[in-house]
Structures are given as structure tokens and as C-alpha cells.
């Protein structure tokens, strides 16, 4: 045997011995005695360390899983607690203690639907002990209100635009908007719930039209919109939520429009104020699935917004950083397509569809019981459906970027408050009309801020 081979074998032998020393061997009696003593002394970290070593050595039994579950529960690692309590139920399927801990773990994780579904299998004695009553018809009610304003409004309003070749000059500038919304959640059965919402939205914009140095038309014009929303949720025991949603949003926009008279040469132009009715709708189908620390959502929407059809497909992924679920990171990617947009001439003289991606990262962390969240949208937002169809972005202006923060505060076990603020960059354009069939545009951007407050009551 060569000298090199001998040295190699000696090194391997020493390494294996060191490894075996580091992996302390336990007997069943040693594990049971040590974890029971640590349980009595409430040494939760010691139970977790010893218990996981024992399981890695194929020592696994009911009381070990119960002690591990309680240790994780006491250290607020509720996901891991659930895993161990579920393992203990494999040894004793009727154990009320494990069931009770699992139920409380779901509640502390905020997974109320899972807790309710899990409690369906409890004995009446355990339900009475935990004071679990049959779910009422109304799950919760929420009211929110918000106000947005354009911080660049005065500068844009007073800006001077000119084009020597134009017969009409137009600018439409977003000024402010205000909304009120009421949302209700209903229990239709153990596994089916219905979400309904009504939103009243008012948008104010400044319209300015110049036909000559002596003929200028301007004023604040209002768009009034009502949003009616319904979402049906179907839950199963595999933490999966299949949902279908519909949003119908009729609106009336008071605005200035140009009227051309082609009976004379050259054509004449005038300004008329009229109400334009728009009926937007969105249909959404999705599936949200939660497993341990990961939540996934795949969704598809078909909509008709501002007289054009849109198709969206998106995928979101939310991951908690630890089993305490006090920090999360989330990302959502959406492919948006408008197959029949405004008549933009593509190659061959046909109508060119518009497609774009939206990327929406977010993060959040919990301090005590208060959640602080940050989020952003990267990509052009226009004629866009979000929040499972609850929100339709049908403003005529494009949003090129937005970011914001929110604060979620549980006031009591039944009442909670949410505050949100957003900063967005909007884009619009000055319009120069040369002939009835010829127009040119000069883009401009502005910044607007949105503040929203919401209060929720759980029945």
C-alpha cells in the first residue's frame, strides 16, 4: 500500500470519528427523560435541539412530538408547531391536546379559514371548551376611504403650450380624486364564502382647450364611477382557495370635446361639453395555495376597460422568512395584453396589439402585533385589474411607477385598522389638432399622492 493511500485512509478514519463524536447518540429512555425534564423546566430551546437530534436518529413517538410542538408553540414558531402536532396525531388521532394547539396555532398565524375548517372535525366537548360556535352568516365588514391629489397641478395648469400649425390645443390634467368603499364577507357554507363590495369614486380633472387667442375654454370636470364587486371563494382542507370574481364599473365622465364642421373649407372647430358613459367590467379566475411558509397565487383576468378589451395572466409568490411568520417577501409578475387597442398602425397597416409586463415586489415585517408593509409597481399601469378584481385602474392617464407603505394595526380581537399611502408618477399629453384626421401629442408627467384609511370588524 502506497504512503499516500495510507495517509488518506487515516484522514478519513479521523474525520469519521470526529463526526461520530459530534453526533451524540441517544437512547429512547435518555430522550424521554431529558425532554420531559426540559418540559417541566420550560427549556424550550433544549427540547427543540434534543428532539430534532432524536428524530434524526429514528427515535419518534407521541410524547416527543407533543413536547416539540409545545416548544415551537411557546417560541412562536407556529408553522413548525403544527407540523409536530400533526405528527403526534399519527400516534393518537383522537388527542384533544394536539388538536387544541393546532387550532390556536392557525389563529396566531392569522389563518382563520384554516382554523375554522380544522375545527369542523372536533368533538362537541372540545368545541364547547374552546367556545367555538357555528360561523355566523357575516364574517366581517370593512369600510375604507381615500383621497388623492396631483402635487404638480398648479404648475401644469399654468404651463404654456403652443404649436403654430394647430387649430386647437388641449390639455387635460388630473387634479384629485376621492373614494368611499364598503366591503362585506359572508359565510355561505363551511367551505364557501362570498365577498361583496361597493365603491363610489369621484375624479376631478382640469380641461383646457384653446381655439384662438380670444377663444379659450377651461374648467374643472368630474368623472363619477360606481364599482360593484363580487367574489366567490371555495376552500378545501389542503389550504387551497379557488376563487372567481366579477367587477362591474359604470361611469359618467363630464368633459370637453372638439366638434368639427366639415361642410366648409377649411373645416371649423368648436368645443362642446358632454357626458360620456363608460361601462367597464372585469372577470377574474384564480387559485391561491398555502403550504408552510409559502403562498402562491395564479390568476387570469379578462376585462373591458375604456372601450377596449384586456387579458391578464399573473403569478404571485409570498414567502415568510421564518416559522414565526413575522417577516415576509412577495413578488408578483403580470403579463398584460390589449389585443385591440387604439388604432396604432403596425407593420402591414394592421392594428398593433399592446403587451407589457408588470413587476410588483413587496415586503413586510411585524413589530409586536403591528404589520408594516412596503410595496412598488414597476411597469406601465393603464386599464389594469388588481387585488383579485376588486380594483380596476381605468384612469385615462398611464401610471409609469408607484410605491407606498401601509400600516396594519389590530385594535382588538375583532377590530383592526389599515392606513396606506402611495406615491405615483402619472403620464398624460398635450394634444395639438391640425386637421380632423391629424393630431400630435407632447407627453408630460406629474406626481400624485394617495392616502387611504380602512377599518374592519370581524363578527
Q: Say if residues 381 and 310 touch (Cβ distance below 8 Å).
A: no
Residue 231 has pLDDT above 90, yes or no: yes
Residue 1 has pLDDT above 60, yes or no: no
Residue 204 has pLDDT above 90, yes or no: yes
User: Among 57, 50, 13, which residue's Cα sits nearest to residue 33?
Assistant: 50
Residue 50 has pLDDT above 90, yes or no: yes
Helices (H) and strands (E) in the chain, counts: 9, 16
User: What's the pLDDT at 125?
Assistant: 85
> If you average pLDDT over residues 152-166, what whole number do you get?
83
User: What's the pLDDT at 341?
Assistant: 59
Residue 23 has pLDDT above 60, yes or no: no
Q: Say if residues 446 and 150 touch (Cβ distance below 8 Å).
A: yes
Identify which has the larger pLDDT, 351 or 271: 271
Q: 3-130 maps to which CATH number?
A: 1.25.40.10
Distances (CA, A) of 394 to 263, 382, 385: 36, 7, 9
Percent of the chain scoring above 70 in pLDDT: 90
Multiple choice CATH, 138-458, 3.30.420.130, 3.40.30.10, 2.40.30.110, 2.40.160.60: 2.40.160.60
- 3-state SS, one letter per residue, for 304-356: EECCEEEEEEEEEEEEECCCCCCEEEEEEEEEEEECCCCCCECHHHCECCEEE
Q: What is the DSSP letter of 265?
A: S
H/E element, 364: strand 354-367
| Cα(183)–Cα(204) distance, integer angstroms | 24
| Cα(55)–Cα(38) distance, integer angstroms | 17
Q: What's the mean per-residue pLDDT of the chain?
A: 87
CA 90 to chain centroid: 36
| Cα(177)–Cα(71) distance, integer angstroms | 51
User: What's the pLDDT at 163?
Assistant: 64
Residue 105 has pLDDT above 60, yes or no: yes
Confidence of residue 348 (pLDDT cuts 50, 70, 90): very low
Domain boundaries along the sequence of the chain: 3-130, 138-458
The model's pTM is 0.80
Q: What is the DSSP letter of 239?
A: S
User: What's the pLDDT at 408?
Assistant: 96
Q: Say if residues 173 and 151 touch (Cβ distance below 8 Å).
A: no
Amino acid at each position: 500500500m502506497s504512503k499516500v493511500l495510507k495517509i488518506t485512509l487515516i484522514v478519513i478514519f479521523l474525520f469519521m470519528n470526529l463526526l461520530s463524536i459530534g453526533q451524540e447518540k441517544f437512547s429512547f429512555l435518555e430522550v424521554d427523560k431529558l425532554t420531559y425534564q426540559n418540559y417541566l423546566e420550560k427549556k424550550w430551546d433544549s427540547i427543540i435541539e434534543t428532539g430534532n437530534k432524536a428524530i434524526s436518529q429514528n427515535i419518534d413517538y407521541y410524547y416527543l412530538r407533543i413536547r416539540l410542538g409545545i416548544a415551537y408553540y411557546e417560541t412562536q414558531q407556529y408553522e413548525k408547531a403544527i407540523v409536530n402536532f400533526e405528527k403526534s396525531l399519527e400516534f393518537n388521532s383522537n388527542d384533544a391536546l394536539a388538536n387544541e394547539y393546532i387550532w390556536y396555532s392557525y389563529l396566531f398565524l392569522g389563518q382563520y379559514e384554516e382554523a375554522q375548517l380544522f375545527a369542523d372535525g372536533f368533538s362537541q366537548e372540545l368545541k364547547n371548551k374552546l367556545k367555538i360556535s357555528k360561523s355566523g352568516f357575516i364574517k366581517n365588514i370593512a369600510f375604507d376611504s381615500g383621497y388623492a391629489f396631483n402635487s404638480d397641478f398648479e404648475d401644469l395648469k399654468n404651463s404654456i403650450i403652443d404649436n403654430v400649425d394647430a387649430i386647437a390645443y388641449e390639455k387635460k390634467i388630473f387634479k384629485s380624486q376621492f373614494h368611499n368603499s364598503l366591503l362585506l364577507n359572508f359565510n355561505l357554507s363551511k367551505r364557501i364564502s362570498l365577498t361583496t363590495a361597493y365603491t363610489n369614486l369621484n375624479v376631478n380633472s382640469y380641461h383646457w382647450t384653446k381655439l384662438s387667442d380670444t377663444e379659450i375654454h377651461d374648467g374643472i370636470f368630474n368623472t363619477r364611477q360606481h364599482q360593484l364587486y363580487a367574489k366567490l371563494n371555495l376552500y378545501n382542507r389542503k389550504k387551497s382557495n379557488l376563487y372567481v370574481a366579477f367587477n362591474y364599473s359604470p361611469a359618467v365622465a363630464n368633459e370637453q370635446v372638439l366638434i368639427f364642421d366639415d361642410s366648409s373649407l377649411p373645416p371649423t372647430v368648436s368645443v362642446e361639453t358632454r357626458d360620456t358613459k363608460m361601462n367597464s367590467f372585469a372577470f377574474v379566475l384564480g387559485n391561491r395555495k398555502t403550504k408552510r411558509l409559502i403562498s402562491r397565487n395564479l390568476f387570469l383576468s379578462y376585462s373591458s376597460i375604456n372601450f377596449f378589451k384586456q387579458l391578464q395572466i399573473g403569478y404571485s409568490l409570498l414567502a415568510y422568512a421564518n416559522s414565526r411568520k413575522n417577516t415576509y417577501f412577495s413578488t408578483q409578475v403580470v403579463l398584460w395584453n390589449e389585443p385591440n387597442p387604439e388604432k396604432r398602425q403596425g407593420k402591414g397597416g394592421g392594428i398593433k396589439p399592446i403587451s407589457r409586463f408588470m413587476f410588483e415586489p413587496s415586503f413586510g415585517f411585524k413589530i409586536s402585533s403591528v404589520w408594516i408593509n412596503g410595496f412598488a409597481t414597476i411597469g406601465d399601469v393603464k386599464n389594469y385589474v388588481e387585488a383579485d378584481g376588486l380594483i380596476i385602474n381605468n384612469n385615462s392617464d398611464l401610471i409609469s411607477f408607484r410605491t407606498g407603505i401601509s400600516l396594519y394595526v389590530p385594535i382588538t380581537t375583532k377590530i383592526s385598522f389599515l392606513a396606506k399611502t402611495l406615491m405615483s408618477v402619472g403620464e398624460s399629453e398635450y394634444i395639438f389638432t391640425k386637421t380632423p384626421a391629424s393630431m400630435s401629442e407632447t407627453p408630460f408627467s406629474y406626481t400624485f399622492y394617495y392616502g387611504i384609511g380602512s377599518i374592519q370588524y370581524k363578527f
